[in-house]
Amino acid sequence: MSRSAAADPGKAEPVGYLSLKHHNTERENRKSSVRMRYRFYTADVFTDRIFGGNPLAVFPEARGLRVPQMRDAARELNLSETVF
């Protein structure tokens, strides 16, 4: 359940957007990279109280992210779990 929509999880609003460098191909020149914004939500799991339990981040539309970008996103959010 998103912290922002505890009363109605069907109407969850994104917690924020994370901007990550995005490269279309492995051979693409690093100077031509584009920054893409990825929407994410947070959820409190293993609890019945808001801000209790174990917080995690969820990126519902992470298609195209590579492992290094996922690591950067997880490191930036600094939560115990991040799901892509």
Decide if 81 is catalytic. yes
CA distance 59 to 83: 6
Of the residues 13, 28, 61, 81, only one is catalytic, namely 81
Structure tokens at 64: 């195209």
CB 63 within 8 A of CB 43: no
Residue found under tokens 């990825």:
38
What positions carry a catalytic annotation? 81
